[in-house]
Amino acid sequence: MSAPEAKPLRLGLLQYGVGRPDGVAAFGRALEARLEAGRAQADLLVLPEYACVELGAALVGGDVTDEQTELAAMVAAAPEILAAMRAAARRLGVWLLPGTLPMRAEDGRVVNRAPLIAPDGRMAMQEKRAMTRFEAERWGVSQGSDPQVFDTPWGRIGISVCYDVEFPKHVRVQVEAGAWAILAPSCTDSMHGFNRVRVGAAARAMENQCYVAITPTVGTAPWSAALDVNRGHAAVFGPVDRGFPEDGVLARGALDQEEWVFCRLDPAKIAAVRADGQVRNHRDWPARPFRPAASAAFA
C-alpha cells in the first residue's frame, strides 16, 4: 500500500512527571488534564514509555519494592488502563501516543506495547523490539514484534520505543516503508541512559534525513520499583544540513522538569534536504550489507 500524502504535523511531547494516582480512574482524570493542557498547540500528543507504571503502587496497595509484583499488577490492569487511554483520546478528540504499557501477548509472554490512538478510539500498536537488561533480566518483559509504520492524517510515521531507537536498522526499515517522522517515547533512570537515547535519536535523524522525537518520564517516585528515578528531557531532531539548525536540534525541554514541548514538523523540508542537501545520507545508505571486514595488508 502506498503511503498517504505527508503533511505538516504539530507535535506535542510531554516530559511526564511521575505521580501517584490512587487508581485507574484517577490516572484517567489526570491524563485528560494533561492532554487538555497540550492539545491546543498540537495535532498529535506523545507521552513517555511506561508512564502508566506510576499506577503500580495503587494497584499493589502500597509502596512497591519488588519489580515482579509491580509488573504482575500492571499486566493484570492493562486492559482497564488502555481503555482509560482510549477514552481520553475520544473525549478530547486528539491523536494520542500515551507512552507504553506492559501487556500479555497472545502466546503468554509479557511485551511492551505502544498504542497509537485515533480521536475516534481506534488504535494500532507497536511492540518494543529490543529489551534493556532491566526489562529482560529483572522484569521479565520479552522481545516484541518487528517494526511497523502507521498511516496518519500527516502521512506515514514510525514508533521506535526507547532502546529501539539506538539501533539503526529498526528505524531504517520504517523509513524505507515511507515513515518521515519517528516517535521514540523513553524511560531512563540515569543520564547515561537518557544520553544513549538522545544520541541514538539524533543519529537516526541524520542518517535517514528524517525527524526523530523523544520524550521521557521525569522525577523521582520512591514508591515505585520500576520508576523510582527518571531523567531526561524531550527533544526533536532533524537532518544536520541546510534548512535545519546547525546541530539538528529543532526543540528541547528543560532537564528533569514536567512540561510540554511543541514542534512543527514539515515533510516538505525533509523532501528538499533529501533531494538537494549538502549530503544525501538517506539515498546513500548501503543497498547491501557490507562483507565482513578484511584485515588490511601492510606492505
Residues 116-143 pLDDT 10s: 999 999 999 999 999 999 999 999 999 9
Between CA 89 and CA 9 the distance in angstroms is: 17
Residue 105 lies in a domain: yes
Residue 297 lies in a domain: no
Mean residue pLDDT across the chain: 97
C-alpha angle 11-141-187 in degrees, rounded to nearest 5 = 35
The pLDDT, as a whole number, for residue 2 is: 76
Cβ partners under 8 Å of residue 16, min gap 6: 34, 47, 48, 51, 99, 215, 216, 217, 218, 258
pLDDT interval class at 279 (50, 70, 90)? very high
Q: For residues 246, 248, 252 and 255, what is the CA-based torsion angle, rounded to 10 degrees?
A: -90
Residues 13-40 pLDDT 10s: 999 999 999 999 999 999 999 999 999 9
pLDDT interval class at 204 (50, 70, 90)? very high
Three-class SS state of 15: strand
Cβ partners under 8 Å of residue 229, min gap 6: 189, 190, 220, 221
Between 1 and 236, the higher pLDDT residue: 236
The pLDDT, as a whole number, for residue 180 is: 98
Nearest to 47 by CA among 93, 101, 104: 101
Residue 19 lies in a domain: yes
Residue 290 lies in a domain: no
272-284 mean pLDDT: 96
Cβ partners under 8 Å of residue 294, min gap 6: none
Residues 104-116 pLDDT 10s: 999 999 999 999 9
pLDDT interval class at 213 (50, 70, 90)? very high
Q: Which domain holds residue 55?
A: 9-279
Given a contact cutoff of 8 angstroms between Cβ atoms, the answer to whether 208 and 199 are in contact is: no
The pLDDT, as a whole number, for residue 3 is: 82
248-262 mean pLDDT: 99
pLDDT at 175 exceeding the cut of 70: yes
Burial classification of residue 283, based on how many CB atoms lie within 10 Å of its CB (0-12 exposed, 13-18 middle, 19 or more buried): exposed
Q: Could you tell me the CATH number of the domain that includes residue 236? A: 3.60.110.10
Q: How far is CA 16 from CA 46, 57, 121, 197, in A?
A: 10, 17, 22, 16
The pLDDT, as a whole number, for residue 4 is: 85
Given a contact cutoff of 8 angstroms between Cβ atoms, the answer to whether 116 and 125 are in contact is: yes
Q: How far is CA 73 from CA 66, 189, 271, in A?
A: 11, 21, 46
Residue 288 lies in a domain: no
**C-alpha grid cell for residue 41?**
498547540
Q: What is the DSSP letter of 161?
A: -
Residue 2 lies in a domain: no
Domain count within the chain: 1
Burial classification of residue 8, based on how many CB atoms lie within 10 Å of its CB (0-12 exposed, 13-18 middle, 19 or more buried): middle
pLDDT at 63 exceeding the cut of 90: no
pLDDT interval class at 44 (50, 70, 90)? very high
pLDDT interval class at 1 (50, 70, 90)? low
Cβ partners under 8 Å of residue 156, min gap 6: 3, 4, 6, 149, 150, 177, 178, 179, 180
Residue 268 lies in a domain: yes
- Please give the share of the chain, as a percent, with pLDDT higher than 70: 100
Nearest to 112 by CA among 102, 104, 123: 102
Residue 259 lies in a domain: yes
258-277 mean pLDDT: 98
Between CA 79 and CA 147 the distance in angstroms is: 23
